[in-house]
Structure formats: C-alpha cells, structure tokens
C-alpha cells in the first residue's frame, strides 16, 4: 500500500505491522546523506535499467529487505554517472552491497535466489552483534 510520496522520491511502504522506507535512487550527490551517514544498515543495489538480471533481482531484493525490516534500500543506476561506482569495485551488475557506518558488511553479484539474499541480510545481525 502506498502511504506517502515526498519530494526526494522517497516512498513509505506500509504493511500491517511495519513501515519501511525505500528511495528509488541515490546518486553521487545524495550518497553521503542517504548511504554514508545513515545510522541504519543500508543495502545499495547497483543496477542499470537496460539490465535483464537487474530487473529479475529487483522484486526479490525489495521483498527480502522488507521482510528483514532492519535496513534501508537504495538503488544506484551506474549508467547515469561515470566512475563513482568504480570506487566500490563494481565491474558487473547487478551488484549489491550492504553498508553499515559507511563500511561494507556484505556484497553479492548477480540475480540470486531469495534464500541467498536473506543470508546476506542476516550478516547485518552478525555485524550488529544481534546473533
């Protein structure tokens, strides 16, 4: 259910018991505000609109992050800005990186199954000392 849409393209998705925030896209200019300085764990999906595996992964990733409920999800379109993604070693897409306090907690490449996405998200628990 779409609850609200505000000026930064941020959508709040509500379910019966929880509310999750997703930003459709971040870029070089918004990176520090939404990723680097975020106190919550953050998942960034490096993708391109022309990439079939990226399109395949998107609903799996969104559902897994929503079910996990302890992190924010952002998308970064590598075809819109040259070079910035290279500092993270992105050479193929989709490439997903989990950050906490601007440090990499996990990463994976390719359109992987939901069960594997969940295992990666659970690495946040280990990192935060919750398991």
Question: Could you give the residue numbers annotated as active site?
Answer: 51, 54
Environment class of residue 41 by beta-carbon count within 10 Å: exposed (0-12), middle (13-18) or buried (19+)? buried
Report the C-alpha gap between 131 and 80 in whole angstroms: 38
Sheet strand arrangement including 2-5: 2-5, 10-14, 19-23, 72-77, 42-47, 95-100, 103-109
């Amino acid at each position: 259910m779409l609850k609200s849409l505000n000026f930064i393209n941020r959508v709040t998705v509500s379910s019966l018991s929880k509310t999750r925030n997703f930003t459709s896209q971040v870029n070089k200019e918004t990176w520090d505000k939404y990723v680097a300085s975020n106190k919550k764990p953050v998942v960034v999906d490096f993708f391109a609109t022309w990439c079939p595996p990226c399109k395949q992964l998107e609903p799996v990733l969104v559902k897994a992050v929503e079910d996990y409920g302890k992190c924010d999800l952002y998308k970064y379109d590598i075809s819109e800005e040259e070079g910035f993604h290279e500092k993270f070693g992105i050479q193929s897409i989709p490439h997903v990186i989990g950050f906490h306090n601007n440090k990499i907690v996990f990463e994976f490449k390719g359109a992987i199954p939901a069960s594997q996405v969940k295992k990666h998200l659970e690495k946040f628990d280990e990192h935060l000392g919750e398991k």
